[in-house]
Copies of this chain bind each other. A is one copy, B any other.
Amino acid sequence: MSYTYEYSRPALTVDCVVFGLDQDDLKVLLIQRGLEPFAGQWALPGGFVRIDESPEASARRELQEETGVRDVFLEQLYTFGEPSRDPREHVISIAHYALVNLDDHEIRAATDARQAGWFAIDDVPTLAFDHGTILKMAHDRLCGKVRYQPIGFELLPDKFALRQLQNLYEKVLDRQIDKRNFRKKILSMGILQELDEVETDVSHRAARLYRFDKGKYNDMFKNGFNFEI
């Protein structure tokens, strides 16, 4: 089977920058390429856009096929199309970024036996193609976006302690935050639901657990409000 067009068409791909958070670091999900070009190098998960498939659907499909990650927060980032970015031919890539919490999403290598793995954002190897540039833009976008939209909660489990939430902002924004000011601010937003539960299995005083209250958030969103941390 083959397809013929009157004019030459660039190839179209999607790539995904998947962020995850654990105790220690903000991490990004990479796969090791099995094929040339850049065989053996680490790269962002991604692949070709199929006909009659929206870019977002392509990104979700590729993400699941290559890493097993599904049902996550995912947004379009930017479209990269410098003619030189792929040595084979002109390939235009619609980059996306996704946020997952590491507890719920166990990754698995793709069926074709390439490796997949989490890398601390400050300790990423040289990436194939222009994926280093894409990763940097995704990280910048994440830094900017957590300040005025509550997308950070996607990186946490359903129930979390305030310390975990603060840790998230500290890792993403890469700076220390005062505990009292943080709690004052985040609680005054009224988007957290206080639960009748506390942490378990900790060897010290257990912290109260909270849940992100999407309903309240949507109410506030209509008016517009400041999420600055």
Count chain A residues whose beta carbon lies closer than 8 angstroms to a beta carbon of B. Answer: 29
User: Quick one: which of A1, A9, A49, A51 has the most chain B CB within 10 A?
Assistant: A9
Tell me which residues across on chain B come within 8 A of A146, comparing CB atoms.
none
The smallest beta-carbon distance between A14 and chain B, in angstroms, is 10
The smallest beta-carbon distance between A165 and chain B, in angstroms, is 24
User: Quick one: which of A6, A12, A48, A82 has the most chain B CB within 10 A?
Assistant: A12
The stretch from A28-36, A52-60, A104-112, A119-127 touching chain B is A52-60
Tell me which residues across on chain B come within 8 A of A55, comparing CB atoms.
79, 81, 92
Tell me which residues across on chain B come within 8 A of A53, comparing CB atoms.
83
Residue A200 CB within 8 A of the other chain: no
Convert A3-46 into 0s and 1s, putting 1 for each residue whose CB lies closer than 8 angstroms to a CB of B.
11111111110000000000000000000000000000000000
B79 touches A79 (CB 8 A): yes
CA distance A51 to B12 in the complex (A): 12
CA distance A5 to B88 in the complex (A): 14
Tell me which residues across on chain B come within 8 A of A81, comparing CB atoms.
49, 54-55, 94
Tell me which residues across on chain B come within 8 A of A83, comparing CB atoms.
51-54
Residue A2 CB within 8 A of the other chain: yes
Give 11 pairs: A residue, B residue, CB < 8 Å, sorted on A: A2-B6, A3-B6, A3-B7, A3-B9, A5-B11, A9-B11, A10-B12, A10-B49, A10-B51, A52-B90, A79-B79
